[in-house]
Amino acid sequence: MSSSPRFSALKGIQDILPPDSSLWQKVEAAAKEVFTLHGFQEIRPPIIESTALFTRSIGETTDIVEKEMYTFLDKAGRSITLRPEGTASVVRAYVEHHLYNLPSPQKFFYSGPMFRYERPQKGRFRQFHQIGVEAFGVDAPFLDAEIIVMLRVLLERLGLKGVNFEVNSIGCEKCRPGYRSALQDFFSARLEDLCPDCRRRYEQNPLRILDCKVERCIEVRRGAPRVTDFLCGDCRAHFDEVLSALTLLNIPHVLNPDMVRGLDYYTRTTFEVTSEHLGAQKAVAAGGRYDRLVEEFGGPPVPGIGFAIGMERLTTLLRDNEGVIGPFPDVCIAPIGEKATKEAFLMAGRLRARGVWAEAGYDGSSLRSQLRRADRLSSRYVLILGDDELSSGRVKWKNLRDGSQGEVDIRGIEEFLSAALRGR
Ligand code: HAM
């Protein structure tokens, strides 16, 4: 006899099960509400794109492009990649559909799975989920502040406490050459100590050395020049205005001049929301400006800014804060006997049509085990439906929260339960 195979999800890829999924829904609903209030509308880009889209935007020398992309050839031999992030697709759609012809700012939000072939660890997965936003067409520092504040409003609404808002500016193409050569000067005497990837990055893109996760590179880069010391006048002024707008709104934030994001497309403002409760992968959300990307994708010179929240990390923090509870059925109907089971089947349908979450027991089990099940499901009410109840036209009900109980006319049950649950 051959044994059946037992399948499991791929390494670093996980199922999101109830009741956790209800926490995800709560986050998604709150995000949609907050984003909509700020003028963001949903965009649903595809999950696969041509590989070049990501190599061009995220950058050839980034970890994501060098090591982490799920890339394959389709049947026609085209190189396709499962999206490692959302910004590149949204910018592609913005340019492809000429959305820059519409009034600015154009604001979008999206959510869904992203894929990076990283070493799985706490808070780091190969399929993970982001909720992100992107806004195009305005380079005013007030927009940067507004976006950061929007993120804060959402996290506060979700009851998340104890997170830090870290901000930085990484300048523009004018500031970059000066900083680049300062970094090369700094690392030139330390090349031997860098990992082979960073030795290559030294030539191609020394900024990426600052983002390397190899222990000895982290050591070597201590004391490296900081990008904020190389900002041009315009970038300095822009950043100062972002900071004073945040101060104006009493938004606590910390300057982190060492924050260089792991993607090449950023210019000027960058930010991360971090939590000490997440371990090594401490960023729960991150984003920044990318004022050159639309142009690099063949569009007009339109600035952009956005962020993405890591859903796995956010829900971990929320779960740790308050635990996951619910959702619970409104009522479990416990029928005894065939006739009652048929009535329970019909009654459940009528109750659901009234917006009541009803569960009916169809398996003919004893009243005792049906009551135990209702209790385990944390149902609010239980209805007992036996032959006696059917012939008398009265149903027994019990409120499992406060222990109260009674009887109600079988024809008035929907009315009774909807009224009783109204104040839930
Ligand atoms: P990112 O920093 O690469 O930025 O990712 C944003 C967030 O996604 C991270 O802060 C983290 O919470 C989550 N995340 C990233 N990788 C993983 C992973 N392997 N496992 C679990 N969570 C992960 C971006 O993706 C940019 N597109 C953000 C952005 C939007 N910038 C401008 N607009």
Digit-coded pLDDT (tens) for 132-184:
999 999 999 999 999 999 999 999 999 998 999 999 999 999 999 999 999 99
Q: 221 C-alpha to center of ligand 1: Å? A: 23
Q: Is the CB of 286 under 6 A from ligand 1?
A: yes
Q: 48 C-alpha to center of ligand 1: Å? A: 17
Please identify which residue in the block is written with the tokens 């315009």: 234
All residues at 6 or more sequence positions from 76 whose CB lies less than 8 Å from its CB, including other chains: none
Q: 34 C-alpha to center of ligand 1: Å? A: 20
| Cα–Cα nearest to 235, from 319, 189, 303 | 303
Q: Is the CB of 137 under 6 A from ligand 1?
A: no
Q: Is the CB of 311 under 6 A from ligand 1?
A: no
Q: Is the CB of 395 under 6 A from ligand 1?
A: no
Contact 302, 143 (CB under 8 A): no
Please identify which residue in the block is written with the tokens 């401490």: 282
Q: 317 C-alpha to center of ligand 1: Å? A: 16
Closest CA to ligand 1's atom 25 = 85
Q: Is the CB of 262 under 6 A from ligand 1?
A: yes
In a 13 Å sphere around the CA of 7, the CA atoms on its Cβ side amount to: 4
Q: Residue 128 has what pLDDT? A: 98
Q: 229 C-alpha to center of ligand 1: Å? A: 26
- Is the model's pTM score more than 0.95? no
pLDDT for 361 beyond 90:
yes
**Residue pLDDT, tens place only, 339-356:** 999 999 999 999 999 999
Which of 94, 133, 263, when mutated, tests ligand 1's pocket best, judged by the most ligand atoms within 8 Å of its CB?
263
Q: 187 C-alpha to center of ligand 1: Å? A: 28
| Cα–Cα nearest to 224, from 268, 192, 186 | 186
Q: 368 C-alpha to center of ligand 1: Å? A: 50
Closest CA to ligand 1's atom 31 = 287
Model confidence at 423, pLDDT cuts 50, 70, 90, reads low
What does 184-228 look like in DSSP terms, one character per residue?
Answer: HHHHHTTGGGS-HHHHHHHHH-GGGGGG---HHHHHHTTTPPPGG
Contact 73, 216 (CB under 8 A): no
CATH number of 331-417: 3.40.50.800
Bridging pattern class, strands 267-275 and 283-289: antiparallel
Q: Residue 258 has what pLDDT? A: 87
Mean pLDDT across 10-34: 96
Q: 128 C-alpha to center of ligand 1: Å? A: 9
Q: Is the CB of 58 under 6 A from ligand 1?
A: no
Q: Residue 2 has what pLDDT? A: 64
Q: Is the CB of 266 under 6 A from ligand 1?
A: no
Q: What is the residue-averaged pLDDT of the chain?
A: 95
Closest CA to ligand 1's atom 16 = 124
Q: Residue 320 has what pLDDT? A: 83
Domains 20-175+231-322 and 331-417 in one fold: no
Q: 178 C-alpha to center of ligand 1: Å? A: 28
Q: 375 C-alpha to center of ligand 1: Å? A: 41
Tell me the C-alpha distance between 204 and 259, whole Å: 20
Q: Is the CB of 145 under 6 A from ligand 1?
A: no
Q: 288 C-alpha to center of ligand 1: Å? A: 11
Q: Residue 3 has what pLDDT? A: 82
Q: 95 C-alpha to center of ligand 1: Å? A: 22
Q: Would you call 325 exposed, middle or buried from its count of C-beta atoms within 10 A (0-12, 13-18, 19+)?
A: exposed
Q: Residue 94 has what pLDDT? A: 98
Q: Is the CB of 116 under 6 A from ligand 1?
A: yes
Give domain limits for the chain.
20-175+231-322, 331-417
Closest CA to ligand 1's atom 14 = 310
Q: Which fold has domain 20-175+231-322?
A: BirA Bifunctional Protein; domain 2 (3.30.930)
Ligand 1 atom index nearest CA of 130: 8
Q: Is the CB of 313 under 6 A from ligand 1?
A: yes
More confident residue, 128 or 322: 128
Closest CA to ligand 1's atom 1 = 286
pLDDT for 115 beyond 90:
yes
Q: Residue 307 has what pLDDT? A: 98
Model confidence at 1, pLDDT cuts 50, 70, 90, reads low
Q: Residue 387 has what pLDDT? A: 86
Q: Residue 280 has what pLDDT? A: 83
Q: Is the CB of 265 under 6 A from ligand 1?
A: no
More confident residue, 166 or 420: 166
Q: Is the CB of 284 under 6 A from ligand 1?
A: yes
Model confidence at 323, pLDDT cuts 50, 70, 90, reads confident
Q: Residue 395 has what pLDDT? A: 94
